[in-house]
């Protein structure tokens, strides 16, 4: 027969309480596994400040409550950007009703040519809910640095026929505006939709 001291009983009770609390916490925590790279905790994009189609400056705070998918591109991009936007449009279709909880945002790396009106018309041709953000060169520089993304002007046959080199990744942010996933530019609509669902 075992005899437990009052101190030992108190210790066992405390240990049991901690164990139960841990189990309850584990039950409430969603186990997320992304197809893209997990960038949780990086705080990428926190200095985003660009203009929407009406000329209003938008920050990540404006999109809290939704999962945001952010892509850097430009309207005169011949292949990468339209392909990326088409994949995002398909991802929205795959999400069904959950697409209402998502905001796709294209940030222009070519503010000289991509006026708010031009950019809005471009992104909404892929999906009416998509948002285009442009701005001054200074706004773009600050925003791009915040996401640690790359862009540069590439000379063309004439000064007006230049192109833009840029990274083609998708940044997926959770409903609190925290960067969570960096998806490759050649990610499929299925993979993008999968990672978005992990954050809904």
Cβ contact 81:119 at 8 Å: no
165 domain residue, yes or no: yes
4 domain residue, yes or no: no
Here the CATH number for the domain that contains residue 190 is: 3.40.30.10
191 domain residue, yes or no: yes
6 domain residue, yes or no: no
13 domain residue, yes or no: no
Count CB-CB contacts under 10 A for residue 97.
Answer: 6
52 domain residue, yes or no: yes
3-state secondary structure of 107: strand
- Asked if residue 141 has pLDDT above 70, the reply is yes
DSSP class per residue in 66-96: SEEEEEEE-TT-SSHHHHHHHHHHHHHHHHG
Distances (CA, A) of 65 to 83, 175, 181: 27, 5, 17
166 annotated as a binding-site residue: yes
What are the start-end ranges of the H helices in the chain? 6-28, 80-95, 116-126, 137-147, 189-198
- Asked if residue 26 has pLDDT above 90, the reply is no
- Asked if residue 10 has pLDDT above 90, the reply is no
3-state secondary structure of 133: strand
Which candidate, 87, 98, 94, places its Cα nearest to that of 106? 87
pLDDT average, residue stretch 146-174: 93
Counting the structural domains of the chain, the total is 1
97 domain residue, yes or no: yes
pLDDT in tens, 52-87: 999 999 999 999 999 999 999 999 999 999 999 999
19 domain residue, yes or no: no
3-state secondary structure of 40: coil
81 annotated as a binding-site residue: yes
Residue 15: per-residue pLDDT: 41
The pTM (predicted TM-score) of the whole model is 0.83
77 annotated as a binding-site residue: yes
Count the residues in the chain: 200
pLDDT average, residue stretch 149-170: 92
- Per-residue confidence band for 30, with pLDDT thresholds at 50, 70 and 90: low
What domain range includes position 156?
37-198
Residue 157: per-residue pLDDT: 86
Indicate the helix (H) or strand (E) that contains 59: none
């Amino acid at each position: 027969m075992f005899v437990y001291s009052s101190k030992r009983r108190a210790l066992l009770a405390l240990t049991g309480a901690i164990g139960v609390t841990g189990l309850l916490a584990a039950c409430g925590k969603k186990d997320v596994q992304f197809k893209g790279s997990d960038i949780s905790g990086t705080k990428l994009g926190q200095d985003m400040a660009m203009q929407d189609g009406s000329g209003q400056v938008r920050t990540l705070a404006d999109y809290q409550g939704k999962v945001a998918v952010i892509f850097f591109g430009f309207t005169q991009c011949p292949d990468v950007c339209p392909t990326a936007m088409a994949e995002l449009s398909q991802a929205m279709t795959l999400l069904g009703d959950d697409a209402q909880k998502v905001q796709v945002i294209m940030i222009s790396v070519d503010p000289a040519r991509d006026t708010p009106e031009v950019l809005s018309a471009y992104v909404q041709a892929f999906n009416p809910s998509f948002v285009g953000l442009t701005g001054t060169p200074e706004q773009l520089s600050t925003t791009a640095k915040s996401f640690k993304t790359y862009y540069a002007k590439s000379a063309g046959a004439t000064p007006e026929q230049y192109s833009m080199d840029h990274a083609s990744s998708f940044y997926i942010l959770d409903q609190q505006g925290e960067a969570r996933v960096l998806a490759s530019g050649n990610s499929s609509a299925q993979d993008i939709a999968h990672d978005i669902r992990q954050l809904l």
